[in-house]
Amino acid sequence: MIDSNLLRENPDAIKASQRARGNDESIVDDAVAADANWRKCLQTYESLRAEQNAAAKLVGSASKEERPALIQAGQVLAEKVKAALEIANAAEVHLNELIWKIENVVIEGIPAGGEENFTLIKEVGTKQTFDFEPRDHVALGELLDIIDIERGVKVSGSRFYFLKGWGARLELAMMNMALDLASKHDFTALITPTLVRPEVMAGTGFLGEHSDEIYYLPADDLYLTGTSEVALAGYHRDEIIDLSAGPLRYAGWSTCYRREAGSAGRDTRGILRVHQFNKLEMFSYIKPEDAENEHLKLLALEEAMLQACELSYRVIDTAAGDLGSSAARKYDSEAWVPSQQTYRELTSSSNCTTYQARRLNVRYRDENGKTQTAATLNGTLATTRWLVAILETHQQADGSVRVPAALRPYLGGIEVIEPKVRA
């Protein structure tokens, strides 16, 4: 939710942002008008209400003879107040409808346009080449007996899989390494609920246009979360948090569920796009003026993880039109996937400025003791999808996979995952 002060003071800034995103900018003028109208209606109501309160007070101290007339006058006032309230409420509803539709104001300097208009920030590492015919992660997973897609489908349907043996351990190793890294940088580990109530799902903005991406359990009126961001953002909802000693940082681990409703036919092979996976997500609550630096910090940690996994990757600054509605800026890092000869997104880190926190009502006290809306940021530190890049990048001619050195301590020291021997 955007700042209504900004709407009053600088609607042009919001319009420019809407334009960069490719969104309708006339809605901003509508919102300004609706805001003015609401305030006018509110004042009408409040002054009538003040009159009513004063009148009601008189009844209490009035004599028996005076009362009937006063009560009758009160009845008339009550009718007026009721009518004025209805008008004011309707005006507020209308204003909210408009204001909720306006997406976060993008940070100046990010590229305008859609998905293909990103700015390339950097490329790190060399794209892996092989002097043999490389296998894709599905073939490797089968050969090493570490990913069992066939049985995943048998048990749960398409886009499900089993991680088995070293595959399962590799994922846990990666998550643990990520958690260690995050912990060293002041992130508190948090294992979050993955079933949440409708109001939390709506509050974090995931019930909008992406609602058919989300699993819903009607018998219990609960939603399965597609990312721990939902729980992490809801964690401090309606609270005044203490940021005087620095930001609040969390590393949330959870299983994530996605229906992939709109992606039939896309990435059907392997575990690149699945209904269920695990993710370690960083989340920061911070003073707005520090948000951009924090964003760089999140990105730096993501890069540290990618480098620890010895992956080749690039970092992009996403264009305005490709941002989620809460994000003011988004950095994605994409790892090179040899079998696809292309970069695939492994991390995504968004600076939501105060947009998300305003909707969730998360505030802090500034130096003067005044409450201010906090800023929130989130970023991926590891997900199941990383296994695709790790396996494919570090494969060897015989189908074995070299374990990146940084991961070995988490895997009992093993250096190579060998093909299954037993038939």
Partner RNA sequence: GGAAGCGUGCCGGAGCGGCCGAACGGAACAGUCUUGAAAACUGUCGUAGUUAAUAGCUACCGUGGGUUCAAAUCCCACCGCUUCCUCCA
Residues tagged active-site: 258, 273, 345, 348, 385
Question: Residue 59 interacts with RNA (CB under 7 A)?
Answer: yes
Measured from the CB atom, the residue of 150 and 366 that comes closer to RNA is 366
Burial of residue 108 (CB within 10 Å: 0-12, 13-18, 19+) is exposed
Tell me whether residue 219 or residue 421 sits nearer to RNA (CB atom).
Answer: 219
Unique residue bearing structure tokens 């700042």: 3
Long-range contacts, stretch 233-236, CB < 8 angstroms, 24+ apart: 233/203, 233/204, 233/283, 233/356, 233/360, 233/376, 233/378, 234/196, 234/200, 234/203, 234/204, 234/360, 235/190, 235/192, 236/285, 236/360, 236/362
CB of 82 to RNA, least distance (A): 8
Contact 251/182 with Cβ under 8 angstroms?
Answer: yes
Binding mask 229-268 for RNA (x = CB under 7 A): -----------x----------------------------
Cα–Cα nearest to 91, from 31, 14, 18: 31
Instruction: Return the residue of 11, 25, 37, 56 that touches RNA, per CB under 7 A.
Output: 56
Token output for 373: 């809306």
39 touching RNA, by CB under 7 A? yes
Residues 339 to 368: which contact RNA by CB under 7 A? 363
Q: Kindly tell me which residue out of 55, 87, 124, 179 binds RNA, with binding defined by CB under 7 A.
A: 55
Comparison of 68 and 419: residue with beta carbon closer to RNA: 68
Among 11, 74, 288, 321, binds RNA (CB under 7 A): 74
The single-letter code of the amino acid at 40 is: K
Q: Does 218 bind RNA (CB under 7 A)?
A: no
First to last CA, the chain: 58
Name the DSSP class of 329: E
**Residues touching RNA: how many (CB under 7 A)?**
25
3-class DSSP state for residue 371? Answer: strand
Region from 42-50, 157-165, 290-298, 402-410 binding RNA, contact rule CB under 7 A:
42-50
CA atoms within 13 A on the CB side of 232: 28
Give the interface segment with RNA, choosing from 53-61, 99-107, 278-286, 314-322 (CB under 7 A).
53-61
Dist CA 417 CA 265 (whole Å): 31
Q: Which stretch binds RNA (CB under 7 A): 13-21, 35-43, 188-196, 324-332?
A: 35-43
- Which residue in 10, 12, 33, 57 binds RNA (CB under 7 A)? 57
Question: How far, in Å, CA of 372 to CA of 198, rounded?
Answer: 27
Binding residue (CB under 7 A) for RNA from 371, 405, 415, 416:
371
Residue 296 interacts with RNA (CB under 7 A)?
no
Of 49, 127, 210, 344, which lies in the binding site for RNA, with binding defined by CB under 7 A?
Answer: 49
Extract the tokens encoding 277. 């996976």
Residues at the site binding RNA, with contacts judged by CB under 7 A: 4, 39, 42-43, 46-47, 49-50, 52-57, 59-60, 70-71, 74-75, 77-78, 240, 363, 371
